[in-house]
Amino acid sequence: MRASLLQIAVDPDESVNSRRRRVASLVREQTGVDLVVLPELWPTGAFAYQSFADEAESPTGPTYEVLAKAASDAGVWVHGGSIVERAPDGTLYNTSLVISPAGELVGTYRKIHRFGFDKGEAVMMGAGEALVTVPLPGLVLGLATCYDLRFPELFRGLVDAGAQLFVVPAGWPARRREHWTLLARARAVENQAYVLACGTAGTHAGVEQAGHSIVVDPWGEVLAEAGAEEEVLTVELDASRVASTREQFPVLRDRRLGLANPPRK
Ligand SMILES: NC(=O)CCC(=O)C(=O)O
């Protein structure tokens, strides 16, 4: 499987619609790969909280429309990063879209762990409640978004649901870049799965973005890593590597589940 991660620069001087058109043509340029991955909240910027309500859309709204057309023109699967979703009851969610080469919306995932502690996304958005996997030809995809990367139990739950490849769109700040790289490798090693972590470039809402999108294999080796600027990272994934790693070094088999917690003192 060939995958391209589009590390998009979110420039506040570019309108959301111009960025959608620009990203759609970048997706079309990936004809020949199997999977294209976009970052978290690339239409608005993950930290541009003030525009969330104005730019909120439905999962089949304007971002889906441009990506679905681009996916079918290029004949690729698209993980569309995420959008600000407005649910029918008015709640906002940070929602990922997975689109087939026929342009169908085959999966959505509402970010479970919201970032910001007592402000920003954490108070403006609802929390997702469901783990999501999507079978792609050759590998089962498990979905997570940005801050989710800090919560290993989510990834273990996705492994239990069959995931072999994690796609993690992000808007990760430059000042915590070392955490990003370390956590992406940790999630790959502990779960013996591919990690495709796609961040944004540029600075928006005063937050410099890390870029440094990264692809890690099931043994924890970094197959490719971007710089800080806008960049397309294309990698070859070997679907059989997940099974062979899990077979040759069967650490997942040694889990001790169901132990009782010690009483709290
Ligand atoms: N958009 C995010 O989830 C940011 C996460 C982050 O900055 C961190 O975990 O650190």
Distance 151 CA to ligand 1 centre (A): 12
Amino acid 261: pLDDT: 82
Residues 6+ apart with CB under 8 A from 256: none
Is the beta carbon of 115 within 6 A of some atom in ligand 1?
yes
Q: Are 166 and 183 in contact (CB under 8 A)?
A: no
Asked if 184 and 195 count as a contact pair (C-beta separation under 8 A), the reply is yes
Predicted confidence at residue 265, as pLDDT, reads 75
What pLDDT shows up at residue 263?
83
- The token pair at 73 is 């023109």
147 lines ligand 1 (CB under 6 A): yes
Q: For ligand 1, atom 7, which residue shows the shortest CA distance?
A: 172
- What tens digit of pLDDT does each residue of 45-99 get? 999 999 999 999 999 999 999 999 999 999 999 999 999 999 999 999 999 999 9
Q: According to the model, what pLDDT value does residue 264 have?
A: 80
Calculate mean pLDDT across residues 205-234. Answer: 98
Contacts of 117 (CB under 8 A, 6+ apart): none
Name the residue with the closest Cα to ligand 1, atom 9. 147
111 given a catalytic annotation:
yes
For the residues 112-125, what does the mean pLDDT come to?
A: 96
pLDDT at 90: 97
Return the pLDDT at 177: 98
Is 198 one of the catalytic residues? Answer: no
Predicted confidence (pLDDT) per residue in 127-185, tens digit: 999 999 999 999 999 999 999 999 999 999 999 999 999 999 999 999 999 999 999 99
Residue nearest (by alpha carbon) to ligand 1 atom 5: 147
Confidence (pTM): 0.97
How far lies 205's CA from each of 11, 208, 213, 221, 230, in Å? 10, 8, 20, 33, 17
pLDDT for residue 262: 82
Superfamily of segment(s) 2-251: Carbon-nitrogen hydrolase (3.60.110.10)
Percentage, residues of the chain above pLDDT 70:
100
CA dihedral over 132, 139, 178, 6, signed as positive or negative: negative
pLDDT recorded at residue 169:
98
Domain regions of the chain by residue span = 2-251
**Distance, CA 142 to ligand 1 centroid (Å)?**
19
Kindly report, residue by residue over 23-57, the tens digit of the pLDDT. Answer: 999 999 999 999 999 999 999 999 999 999 999 99
Average pLDDT over residues 7-25: 97
- Both ends of the chain: CA-CA distance in Å? 51
Residue 146 falls in the annotated catalytic set = yes
> Which ipTM value was assigned to this complex?
0.99
Residue 186 has pLDDT above 90, yes or no: yes
Please give the number of the atom of ligand 1 that sits closest to the Cα of 145.
3
